[in-house]
Amino acid sequence: LEEFLNFTRLKTSWRKAVLIDYYTAGFLWAKEMNFSLIQLSGFMELLNFVLENISDKHMTLGDNIKELERAMAEIGETDSEQGGDLNFFTIEQGKAIIDYFINSLFQYYRVYEFLFQGPR
């Protein structure tokens, strides 16, 4: 992941080291969930989405949860319904994804805010 994300000098960048750790943990969790390749890709996109909401958009916890809710609203829809980018997840997988974000990111939101928005 270090090479894929174009990170260098991890020994001197806590921010990049934390990102590598979080992306790796997310990837391994998704593999343990036996997600298909497209589901794995969709999950990693969601993971990146919520992290960018903190780092680039400086969203509050409440706003980031609302954005995730909007993205996840399409889960479980069939082709005959509205159907969006995440309709390849089942409702149970969607619940597991939400639990993952609650336990891994939202629970420690202040730490991630400080990491991305605080002084170096």
Task: Name the domain count of the chain.
Answer: 1
Percentage of the chain modeled with pLDDT above 70: 83
Q: Report if pTM > 0.95.
A: no
Overall average pLDDT of the 91-111 stretch: 94
User: Does residue 53 lie within any of the structural domains?
Assistant: yes
User: Does residue 86 lie within any of the structural domains?
Assistant: yes
Instruction: Please tell me the distance from the alpha carbon of residue 14 to that of residue 23, in angstroms, as a whole number.
Output: 14
pLDDT of residue 78: 55
Considering the chain, what is the average pLDDT of its residues? 85
Overall average pLDDT of the 18-25 stretch: 91
Instruction: Please tell me the distance from the alpha carbon of residue 114 to that of residue 120, in angstroms, as a whole number.
Output: 10
Overall average pLDDT of the 93-120 stretch: 90
Which tokens in the block code for residue 4?
A: 């894929």
User: Does residue 22 lie within any of the structural domains?
Assistant: no
pLDDT of residue 81: 46
Q: Is 3 helix (H, G, I), strand (E, B) or coil?
A: coil
List the domain range (segments joined by +) for residue 100: 36-117
Which tokens in the block code for residue 116?
A: 């991305």
> Got the DSSP string for 43-80?
HHHHHHHHHHHHHTT---HHHHHHHHHHHHTTTT--TT
User: Does residue 11 lie within any of the structural domains?
Assistant: no
pLDDT in tens, 4-14: 777 666 555 77
pLDDT of residue 6: 72
pLDDT of residue 39: 95
